[in-house]
Protein backbone atom coordinates (compact mmCIF):
# COMPACT_ATOMS: atom_id res chain seq x y z
CA UNK A 1 0.00 0.00 0.00
CA UNK A 2 2.80 2.33 0.95
CA UNK A 3 4.61 1.40 -2.27
CA UNK A 4 1.62 2.38 -4.45
CA UNK A 5 1.29 5.74 -2.71
CA UNK A 6 4.93 6.63 -3.26
CA UNK A 7 4.74 7.64 -6.95
CA UNK A 8 1.46 9.50 -6.40
CA UNK A 9 2.94 11.50 -3.54
CA UNK A 10 5.99 12.31 -5.63
CA UNK A 11 3.81 13.49 -8.53
CA UNK A 12 1.72 15.65 -6.21
CA UNK A 13 4.84 17.12 -4.66
CA UNK A 14 6.26 17.98 -8.08
CA UNK A 15 2.98 19.63 -9.11
CA UNK A 16 2.90 21.76 -5.99
CA UNK A 17 6.55 22.63 -6.39
CA UNK A 18 6.01 23.60 -10.03
CA UNK A 19 3.05 25.77 -9.10
CA UNK A 20 5.08 27.51 -6.43
CA UNK A 21 7.96 28.11 -8.78
CA UNK A 22 5.59 29.35 -11.49
CA UNK A 23 3.81 31.67 -9.09
CA UNK A 24 7.09 33.04 -7.85
CA UNK A 25 8.18 33.76 -11.42
CA UNK A 26 4.75 35.05 -12.55
CA UNK A 27 4.19 38.71 -13.37
CA UNK A 28 1.07 40.65 -12.33
CA UNK A 29 -0.07 43.37 -14.73
CA UNK A 30 -2.41 45.98 -13.24
CA UNK A 31 -4.71 47.54 -15.81
CA UNK A 32 -7.14 50.41 -15.32
CA UNK A 33 -10.37 49.08 -16.87
CA UNK A 34 -12.45 51.96 -18.26
CA UNK A 35 -13.60 53.49 -21.54
CA UNK A 36 -10.31 54.51 -23.26
CA UNK A 37 -9.49 57.50 -25.40
CA UNK A 38 -9.11 55.31 -28.55
CA UNK A 39 -10.50 51.97 -29.63
CA UNK A 40 -6.98 50.46 -29.96
CA UNK A 41 -5.73 51.64 -26.57
CA UNK A 42 -5.73 48.25 -24.82
CA UNK A 43 -4.38 46.34 -27.81
CA UNK A 44 -1.50 48.83 -28.06
CA UNK A 45 -0.84 48.32 -24.35
CA UNK A 46 -0.73 44.52 -24.75
CA UNK A 47 1.61 44.67 -27.77
CA UNK A 48 4.39 46.03 -25.58
CA UNK A 49 4.15 43.14 -23.07
CA UNK A 50 5.13 39.48 -23.11
CA UNK A 51 2.55 37.30 -21.35
CA UNK A 52 3.52 33.85 -20.06
CA UNK A 53 1.51 31.03 -18.59
CA UNK A 54 1.03 31.87 -14.92
CA UNK A 55 1.00 35.64 -15.34
CA UNK A 56 -1.90 37.62 -13.85
CA UNK A 57 -3.89 40.58 -15.21
CA UNK A 58 -5.63 42.70 -12.61
CA UNK A 59 -8.57 44.68 -14.03
CA UNK A 60 -8.96 47.75 -11.82
CA UNK A 61 -12.48 49.27 -11.80
CA UNK A 62 -15.26 50.09 -9.38
CA UNK A 63 -17.91 47.50 -8.66
CA UNK A 64 -20.97 47.92 -10.87
CA UNK A 65 -19.28 50.29 -13.29
CA UNK A 66 -17.90 47.53 -15.53
CA UNK A 67 -17.38 43.79 -15.75
CA UNK A 68 -14.96 41.39 -17.57
CA UNK A 69 -15.96 38.73 -20.08
CA UNK A 70 -13.60 36.10 -21.52
CA UNK A 71 -14.38 35.62 -25.24
CA UNK A 72 -12.95 33.92 -28.25
CA UNK A 73 -10.90 36.33 -30.37
CA UNK A 74 -13.42 36.14 -33.25
CA UNK A 75 -16.30 37.10 -30.93
CA UNK A 76 -14.31 39.94 -29.37
CA UNK A 77 -13.57 41.36 -32.81
CA UNK A 78 -17.31 41.84 -33.41
CA UNK A 79 -18.16 42.53 -29.72
CA UNK A 80 -20.43 39.46 -29.65
CA UNK A 81 -20.99 38.89 -25.91
CA UNK A 82 -23.71 36.24 -26.28
CA UNK A 83 -21.45 33.27 -25.47
CA UNK A 84 -18.79 34.26 -22.94
CA UNK A 85 -16.32 31.61 -21.77
CA UNK A 86 -16.08 33.16 -18.31
CA UNK A 87 -17.42 36.24 -16.51
CA UNK A 88 -16.06 38.39 -13.65
CA UNK A 89 -18.43 40.99 -12.23
CA UNK A 90 -16.77 41.80 -8.92
CA UNK A 91 -14.62 44.88 -8.70
CA UNK A 92 -10.89 44.55 -9.65
CA UNK A 93 -10.75 40.82 -10.45
CA UNK A 94 -7.35 39.13 -10.90
CA UNK A 95 -7.41 36.86 -13.94
CA UNK A 96 -4.72 34.18 -14.15
CA UNK A 97 -3.46 33.21 -17.59
CA UNK A 98 -3.38 29.45 -17.06
CA UNK A 99 -2.79 28.19 -20.60
CA UNK A 100 -0.99 29.24 -23.74
CA UNK A 101 -2.89 30.73 -26.66
CA UNK A 102 -4.66 33.89 -27.79
CA UNK A 103 -7.54 35.09 -25.62
CA UNK A 104 -9.71 38.22 -25.47
CA UNK A 105 -11.39 40.19 -22.69
CA UNK A 106 -14.25 42.69 -23.15
CA UNK A 107 -16.64 44.66 -21.01
CA UNK A 108 -20.15 43.19 -21.17
CA UNK A 109 -22.05 46.41 -20.54
CA UNK A 110 -23.88 47.84 -23.57
CA UNK A 111 -21.70 49.70 -26.08
CA UNK A 112 -18.58 49.52 -23.84
CA UNK A 113 -16.87 46.99 -26.11
CA UNK A 114 -17.52 49.07 -29.23
CA UNK A 115 -16.09 52.11 -27.41
CA UNK A 116 -12.75 50.33 -27.00
CA UNK A 117 -13.05 48.25 -23.81
CA UNK A 118 -11.62 45.09 -25.30
CA UNK A 119 -8.19 43.44 -24.87
CA UNK A 120 -6.57 40.59 -26.82
CA UNK A 121 -3.38 38.97 -25.47
CA UNK A 122 -1.14 36.18 -26.70
CA UNK A 123 0.01 33.90 -23.88
CA UNK A 124 3.28 32.00 -24.34
CA UNK A 125 4.11 28.73 -22.66
CA UNK A 126 7.69 29.81 -22.02
CA UNK A 127 9.71 32.88 -22.74
CA UNK A 128 12.72 32.58 -24.97
CA UNK A 129 14.16 35.47 -23.10
CA UNK A 130 13.46 34.05 -19.66
CA UNK A 131 14.50 30.47 -20.33
CA UNK A 132 17.48 31.03 -22.59
CA UNK A 133 20.68 30.31 -20.71
CA UNK A 134 22.84 33.29 -19.99
CA UNK A 135 25.66 33.77 -22.44
CA UNK A 136 28.77 32.04 -21.33
CA UNK A 137 31.51 34.39 -20.28
CA UNK A 138 34.25 34.82 -22.83
CA UNK A 139 37.05 32.39 -22.43
CA UNK A 140 40.03 34.27 -21.09
CA UNK A 141 42.96 34.22 -23.42
CA UNK A 142 45.90 32.95 -21.45
CA UNK A 143 49.38 34.04 -22.44
CA UNK A 144 51.60 31.30 -23.74
CA UNK A 145 53.49 29.57 -20.97
CA UNK A 146 56.91 30.97 -20.42
CA UNK A 147 59.49 28.24 -21.05
CA UNK A 148 61.41 27.41 -17.97
CA UNK A 149 65.01 28.29 -18.29
CA UNK A 150 67.51 25.89 -16.91
CA UNK A 151 70.63 26.96 -15.12
CA UNK A 152 72.91 29.02 -17.25
CA UNK A 153 75.76 26.99 -18.73
CA UNK A 154 79.12 27.65 -17.13
CA UNK A 155 81.28 30.07 -19.06
CA UNK A 156 83.78 28.36 -21.31
CA UNK A 157 87.10 27.75 -19.62
CA UNK A 158 89.74 29.85 -21.23
CA UNK A 159 92.56 27.84 -22.68
CA UNK A 160 95.90 28.49 -21.02
CA UNK A 161 97.96 30.92 -23.03
CA UNK A 162 100.40 29.25 -25.33
CA UNK A 163 103.89 30.31 -24.37
CA UNK A 164 105.51 32.32 -27.06
CA UNK A 165 108.20 30.48 -28.87
CA UNK A 166 111.46 32.20 -28.28
CA UNK A 167 113.71 31.67 -31.24
CA UNK A 168 116.98 30.10 -30.23
CA UNK A 169 119.71 32.62 -29.83
CA UNK A 170 122.15 32.14 -32.60
CA UNK A 171 125.69 31.83 -31.50
CA UNK A 172 127.78 34.79 -32.58
CA UNK A 173 129.65 33.99 -35.73
CA UNK A 174 133.31 33.47 -35.32
CA UNK A 175 135.31 36.56 -35.96
CA UNK A 176 136.20 36.93 -39.53
CA UNK A 177 139.77 37.37 -40.29
CA UNK A 178 140.58 40.43 -42.24
CA UNK A 179 142.27 39.79 -45.48
CA UNK A 180 144.65 42.56 -44.71
CA UNK A 181 145.74 41.02 -41.41
CA UNK A 182 148.90 39.04 -41.81
CA UNK A 183 148.81 35.40 -40.94
CA UNK A 184 150.61 34.60 -37.72
CA UNK A 185 154.19 33.80 -38.35
CA UNK A 186 155.20 30.31 -37.45
CA UNK A 187 157.28 30.08 -34.40
CA UNK A 188 160.89 29.87 -35.24
CA UNK A 189 162.47 26.61 -34.31
CA UNK A 190 165.65 27.33 -32.57
CA UNK A 191 168.12 24.57 -32.77
CA UNK A 192 170.90 24.60 -30.33
CA UNK A 193 174.34 24.13 -31.88
CA UNK A 194 175.62 20.70 -31.55
CA UNK A 195 178.42 20.31 -29.09
CA UNK A 196 181.62 19.14 -30.38
CA UNK A 197 182.78 15.84 -29.00
CA UNK A 198 185.21 16.23 -26.17
CA UNK A 199 187.71 13.85 -27.51
CA UNK A 200 187.73 15.32 -30.99
CA UNK A 201 191.20 16.40 -31.93
CA UNK A 202 191.64 20.07 -32.26
CA UNK A 203 192.78 21.09 -35.64
CA UNK A 204 193.70 24.56 -34.59
CA UNK A 205 197.32 25.22 -33.85
CA UNK A 206 198.13 25.31 -30.24
CA UNK A 207 199.54 28.72 -30.43
CA UNK A 208 196.66 30.50 -32.14
CA UNK A 209 194.17 32.54 -30.00
CA UNK A 210 190.92 30.76 -29.07
CA UNK A 211 187.99 32.89 -30.31
CA UNK A 212 185.53 30.04 -29.75
CA UNK A 213 183.83 31.02 -26.49
CA UNK A 214 183.14 34.64 -27.43
CA UNK A 215 181.43 33.62 -30.71
CA UNK A 216 179.26 31.00 -29.01
CA UNK A 217 178.06 33.56 -26.50
CA UNK A 218 177.14 35.99 -29.28
CA UNK A 219 175.23 33.30 -31.20
CA UNK A 220 173.20 32.32 -28.12
CA UNK A 221 172.17 35.94 -27.47
CA UNK A 222 171.05 36.34 -31.06
CA UNK A 223 168.97 33.19 -30.85
CA UNK A 224 167.27 34.37 -27.67
CA UNK A 225 166.47 37.76 -29.16
CA UNK A 226 164.99 36.15 -32.25
CA UNK A 227 162.82 33.84 -30.13
CA UNK A 228 161.56 36.75 -28.01
CA UNK A 229 160.71 38.78 -31.11
CA UNK A 230 158.86 35.84 -32.64
CA UNK A 231 156.89 35.22 -29.44
CA UNK A 232 155.94 38.88 -29.18
CA UNK A 233 154.90 38.94 -32.81
CA UNK A 234 152.74 35.85 -32.22
CA UNK A 235 151.00 37.56 -29.28
CA UNK A 236 150.33 40.69 -31.34
CA UNK A 237 148.86 38.70 -34.22
CA UNK A 238 146.65 36.63 -31.88
CA UNK A 239 145.35 39.74 -30.11
CA UNK A 240 144.59 41.45 -33.43
CA UNK A 241 142.68 38.40 -34.62
CA UNK A 242 140.64 38.35 -31.38
CA UNK A 243 139.69 42.01 -31.78
CA UNK A 244 138.44 41.36 -35.29
pLDDT tens digits, residue range 160-183?
666 566 555 555 555 565 444 454
Mean pLDDT score of the chain: 73
Sheet strands side by side (includes 56-60): 28-32, 56-60, 94-96
Percent of the chain with pLDDT strictly greater than 90? 38
pLDDT above 90: residue 107 = yes
214: Cα separation from own chain's centroid: 125
Give dist(CA 109, CA 84) in Å, integer: 13
pLDDT at site 235: 79
- CA-based torsion, 44, 62, 23, 69: positive or negative: negative
Instruction: Specify the pTM.
Output: 0.45
Count of beta carbons in the 10 Å neighbourhood of residue 79: 17
pLDDT at site 203: 47
Cβ–Cβ under 8 Å, residues 103 and 121: yes
pLDDT above 70: residue 66 = yes
CA distances from 142 to 139, 148, 177 (A): 9, 17, 96
Q: Domain 26-129 has what CATH class?
A: mainly beta
**3 vs 92, residue with greater confidence:** 92
The residues pairing with 70 across neighbouring beta strands, listed in sequence order, are: 86, 105
pLDDT at site 181: 47
Amino acid sequence: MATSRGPALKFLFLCVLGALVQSSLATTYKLTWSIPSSTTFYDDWASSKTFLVGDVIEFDYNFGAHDVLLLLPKDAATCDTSAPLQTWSAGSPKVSLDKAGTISFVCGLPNHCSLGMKLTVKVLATSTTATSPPPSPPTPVLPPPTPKRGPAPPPPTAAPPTPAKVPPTAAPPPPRRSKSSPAPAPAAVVQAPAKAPANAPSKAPSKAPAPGPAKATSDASAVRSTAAIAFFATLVVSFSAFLL
